[in-house]
Amino acid sequence: MLAGQMAVTHALAMELMGRAHRAEHIPQLEANGALATKLLRTYVAQVEALAKLRRGGEQTVRVEHVHVHPGGQAIVGSVTHQGGGGERKDGDEPHAQALAHAPQPALRSQDPQPEPMPLARDAEREVSHARRRVAGRTPG
């Protein structure tokens, strides 16, 4: 079905480009050219869909240029990765092992006297105004 759609899309795009070439008025040229452009973009999407179907959904990623900064690590050479499907126990992944030994961030403030959050019922306490004027800035 996809091949049939591609054939019709291509034929119609070529017909519209021919009409645009033979157009005697600018509006005809613009209309036929715009439709031909849309159909050719559709054709490109169809070609990509066909290629994806033929290769079975596999993707190839080629990295042309990589920056490795001091202290960084990189792999040079071909790297293959089988996506999904493989089962691992928690902690078997290298990143999981690294995270297990990483220091955990503190969830509470280290400040011995933290400033309390102002509440609406604290009428006697001054609350900063969110829309205060800042020197050097225009209002609005």
From the list 43, 41, 37, the residue with the least C-alpha distance to 8 is: 43
Domain limits, the chain: 2-55
The stretch 15-42 carries a mean pLDDT of 96
Structure tokens at 85: 């499907």
Q: Which H or E run includes 16?
A: helix 2-22
What is the per-residue DSSP string for 25-43? SHHHHHHHHHHHHHHHHHH
Structure confidence at residue 21 (pLDDT) = 94
Cα–Cα distances in angstroms (integers) from residue 132 to residues 4, 61, 116, in the given order: 66, 52, 21
Question: For residues 46 and 8, what is the distance between their CA atoms, to the nearest angstrom?
Answer: 11
Higher pLDDT, 135 or 49: 49
pLDDT tens for 7-26 read 999 999 999 999 999 999 99
Structure confidence at residue 12 (pLDDT) = 97
Residue 67 has pLDDT above 70, yes or no: yes
